[in-house]
Structure 1
C-alpha cells in the first residue's frame, strides 16, 4: 500500500474526516467551517461524523479490540479498551492529544491575546477545537467569548445558596451543589420529550454553553466566600473568560491571569476513562442534563486519589522544606525521597498511561523558567525532577518514573499567593468542564446509548473459570 495520498484522496478525506490524526505520515485535518457561530460549525461536523460512525459500526461492529481478564474485573477495568471519547486521546509517549493536537501544538496554534502581553492561548479557543476538531480563527474565539459573557450572569438563587453555606464547607461540595441547583435552567430537561433524538445535541449545546458561562462565577464566589470577603460576580463584556474569572476572585495581575489560561487548557480533558470525565459521561448517558452530569463529575474529582494530587505534592515539598530548609542540597533531597519511598510513594510522579514526562508538566516548567525561576519552591520542584526519576528507575519496579502535571501546578499556585489548597480542585473542576461539556454534546449528537456494562459475583466468576482455568462462557 502506498504511504502517500493523492491530492484527490487527500482532499476527499479532508472533507469527510472530523478527527485530526496522523496516518501514514500525513497530518489529516477536518474541514474547517467558515462560520464564526460554534453551533453552526458543530452542526456541519456532526453531520459528517454521524455518517462516518454509522458506516464504521456497520462494517466493524463485531471486531474485537480487547478481551477482559479476571484481573481487569478486579482491577477497576484499568486500561480496558471499552469507551469512546472523540475530544482527546492519551498517547503513552506524546501525552494528551486534543483532537489530534499535542500539547505543544495546541499551545502554539491556538489564538493568543494581542493587547495585554499574554502569551498563553484562550481557553475559549480550546473549547472550539474540542467541539469541532479545528483550530479556530480569532473571530471564532471571539464568538465563544461573547457567548459566554452574554450567558454568564449568575442566577440569584445560586448566589443565595452559596452565601448561605458554612464557610468551612469543602469548596468542592459547594461547587457540586451549585451546579445541581443550576438544573432549573436546563433547556435539555424541559424539552427532552418534545424534540427528535437527533436534535437533542442542540439542547445540550445550549445548556453546556450556559454552564461554562456560569461556572467561573460560581467558582469565584466560592473562593471569596470561603477564604476572603465575598465579591458579587460581574461579567465585563470586554474581558475574556479567564480574566472575568480571575477578576471575580480578586486577582488582576496579568501574569497570574496568563498562567490561569495555561492551567485551564492543560487540565481540560484527559480521555474519557478518568473518574471525573467518565462520571459526566455515565450520568449523561441516562439523559440527565449537563448540570447534574457535571455535578457527578465534580464529586468524582473531589476524591483524594483523583483530583487532589497537587495538594499531596505541595505537602511533600512543605515537609522537605521543614526538614532541610528552603535551599536543600541534592543529597538532602535524594535522602528525603529515599526515606519517603520506604513507607509510600513520591506524589506527582508516575502515571497510569504515560511513559514519559507529562508534556503538561513541561509546559508549566517552561512558563516558570520565564516568570518564576527564582522562586525557592519552584527550584525544589526542578530538583525533584532531576533526582526522582533516576531514583525510581533504580528500583526496577516503576513503569513511569517521570513527573505528571500535578508535580508542578501546586507550587505555581502557591507562588502566585493562591495558597488555599482546598480550592485547588475547584480550579481543576472549572478546567475539566471544558472537555466534559464538549464531549457530552457530542455524545448526544452521536445518539450514544445508556452505559450499562455487565458485572459478576466472585462465585459466578469462579464457576465460569472452572477447573480448566479458562472461562467457558460469558
Structure 2
C-alpha cells in the first residue's frame, strides 16, 4: 500500500470516526467552547489579576449588556491609560509592575524596575545564532523555540518558588522585544534581500522605544513610540479565560517549567481565531479600500458588507473580521482606547481619510451584521479592528503584528502562572470528556 494512499485512508476514516453530532452536546449538557447557553463563560477558576466585563446580571440572573470594562488588579483600563495620554509618558513598564505585583509602583520602584528590565533585554549569543539559523521561519514559531531554548541557559529552570518565578517572568518580559526584533531583521534579510543589522538595546530607552530602535526604524516619532507603548498596555492582560492565558494556567497546573508553559501560550496566541486575527482585519481593510469607491457612501459600504456576509465577496467566509467578541457586548474597552489613539496618529501621518473610513466601517459593519443575523443583541468591534491599522501607521510590518501581541501578553501570562502556582492546595486542571461511542468487540487481525 502506497504511503500517500495510507495517509488519505487514515484521514478519510477520521471523517466518520471523529464526527460528533451537534445535538449530542445539548443532550449531555456539554458547554461547547466552555460557554454557557446564555453566552457567558463557564466558571473554571478564580483570579485577582484581571477582570473582563461585557455584561451585568439582573436580580433574576439574566444577562444585561453593558459598555465593556477591563480591569487590571482592580484598576479600570481607562483610569490607567488616561493619565499616560495626558502626561505624554510611557506606561508599559508601570503596567507590568502592577500586574506582576498587584500594586502600582512609586517613582523610585518604577525607575528600578525599568533598569532591571533593561539589564535583561540583551540576548545570549547562542540565542542570536539560533535565530539566524531559523531565518525565514514564522516569527511566532521562532519566539516559541527561543523561549524553550532559554530553559537550557537558566541555572535553575525547574524551580517554581515564587522568587524564581518572578525572576524568570522579568527576564521573559525583557527578552521578548529583542527576540522579535532580531527575528524580523533576519527574516527581512533572508526573505526580502535587505541588509542585516543587529542592534543591541539601549539602556536609556523603555521597551516600546527600544523595540522601534532595534527594528532599525530610524525616524520614528515620539507619538509612534507612545502609541506602541499604549498598544502594549491595552494588550497586556485579559483575564484568565482567554485561550492563551488559560493554556498557560492549564500547563502551569502540571508544575511544568516556565518556558514550556509560555511556549504553549505562544502556540495558542498564534491561531487566527486568537492573536492572529489582527492580520485578517488589515487584509480585509486593504481590500475594502480598493473595492469601495466612495468611502463616505454608506449605501455602497452596506451593499458590499452584506455581500461579504452572504459569502459572495472578499474571502467568502461570511465574516467581517474584527466585529464581535466572546465577552464584550456593547463595546470593547481596548478598541475604544485604540480608536482614540488612532485618530491622533492618523492626523500626524496624514491618513485621516483612511482612519475615518475605518471608523465608518465599524459603524456600518455592526449595523449590517445585526440586520443579517436578525437579532437585537448588541455587537461591537473588538481590539483587532483597530490594532492592525495602528501598527501600519507606526510603520510596523504584518509579520510582527501577532508577535507584538505576545510581547504585551507575556506580562499577563507570567502573572497568571505565578498566581496558579501560588494557590494553596494546588491541583492539576483536568476537565472531563464523555465518550458517546458504543463498545466494540475486538476482532483478531486475520478476521478483519
Smaller-chain TM-score bracket: 0.7 to 0.9
- TM-superposed deviation, 1:387: 1.5
Change (3 A) 1:136 1:164: same
1:338 aligns with 2:306: yes
- TM-superposed deviation, 1:82: 0.8
Instruction: Answer 1 or 2: higher relative contact order, Cα 8 Å, separation at least 6.
Output: 2
Distance 1:88 1:267 in 2: 12
Distance 1:400 1:69 in 2: 25
> Paired residue for 1:206, among 156, 159, 167?
167
- Give the stretch that moved more between structures: 307-316 or 244-253: 244-253
Change (3 A) 1:184 1:385: same
- After the TM superposition, which residues 319-334 of structure 1 pair with which residues of structure 2 at under 5 Å, given as runs? 319-325=287-293, 327=295, 329-334=297-302
> Paired residue for 2:271, among 287, 303, 327?
303
- After the TM superposition, which residues 162-311 of structure 1 pair with which residues of structure 2 at under 5 Å, given as runs? 162-167=131-136, 169-191=137-159, 200-227=161-188, 229-251=195-217, 252-311=220-279
Q: Name the residue aligned to 1:425.
A: 402
User: TM-score, normalized by length of structure 2?
Assistant: 0.79
Distance 1:97 1:398 in 2: 27
- TM-superposed deviation, 1:106: 1.6
Q: Which string of whole-angstrom CA distances, capped at 9 and with x for unpartnered residues, describes residues 422-446 of structure 1?
A: 3211011111101111221222222
Q: Name the residue aligned to 1:457.
A: 435
Distance 2:49 2:221 in 1: 32
- Give the stretch that moved more between structures: 284-293 or 396-405: 396-405
- TM-superposed deviation, 1:183: 1.1
- The SS at the match of 1:96 is strand
Change (3 A) 1:239 1:410: same
Distance 2:196 2:73 in 1: 38
Distance 1:409 1:431 in 2: 13
Q: Which string of whole-angstrom CA distances, capped at 9 and with x for unpartnered residues, describes residues 203-240 of structure 1?
A: 11111111111111001111111125443241322111
Aligned CA-pair RMSD? 2.3
Change (3 A) 1:190 1:294: closer
Distance 1:398 1:423 in 2: 37
Q: Name the residue aligned to 2:387.
A: 409
Q: How many residues align?
A: 379
Distance 1:221 1:369 in 2: 30
Q: Name the residue aligned to 1:154.
A: 123
- TM-superposed deviation, 1:187: 4.9
1:442 aligns with 2:422: no
Distance 1:413 1:398 in 2: 33
Structure 2: gaps spanning 5 or more residues: 1-24, 36-40, 55-65, 190-194, 312-317, 439-448
Change (3 A) 1:127 1:326: farther
> Paired residue for 1:101, among 75, 79, 93?
75
- TM-superposed deviation, 1:145: 0.7
CA contact (8 A) 2:338 2:386 kept: yes
Distance 1:408 1:457 in 2: 42
Change (3 A) 1:388 1:201: same
Q: Name the residue aligned to 2:343.
A: 369
Distance 1:399 1:171 in 2: 38
Distance 1:120 1:449 in 2: 42
- TM-superposed deviation, 1:86: 2.3
Q: Name the residue aligned to 1:397.
A: 375
Structure 1: gaps spanning 5 or more residues: 1-67, 193-199, 461-474
- The SS at the match of 2:33 is coil
CA contact (8 A) 1:215 1:430 kept: yes
- TM-superposed deviation, 1:163: 0.7
Change (3 A) 1:347 1:190: closer
Distance 1:157 1:326 in 2: 53
- The SS at the match of 1:179 is helix
Q: Name the residue aligned to 2:32.
A: 75
- TM-superposed deviation, 1:85: 2.9
Change (3 A) 1:364 1:455: same
- TM-superposed deviation, 1:140: 2.2
CA contact (8 A) 2:147 2:259 kept: yes
User: TM-score, normalized by length of structure 1?
Assistant: 0.75
- TM-superposed deviation, 1:411: 1.1
- TM-superposed deviation, 1:280: 1.3
Q: Which string of whole-angstrom CA distances, capped at 9 and with x for unpartnered residues, describes residues 174-215 of structure 1?
A: 1111111111233553546xxxxxxx1111111111111111
- TM-superposed deviation, 1:273: 1.6
CA contact (8 A) 2:248 2:413 kept: yes
Distance 1:381 1:391 in 2: 15
Q: Which string of whole-angstrom CA distances, capped at 9 and with x for unpartnered residues, describes residues 16-69 of structure 1?
A: xxxxxxxxxxxxxxxxxxxxxxxxxxxxxxxxxxxxxxxxxxxxxxxxxxxx97
Change (3 A) 1:227 1:91: same
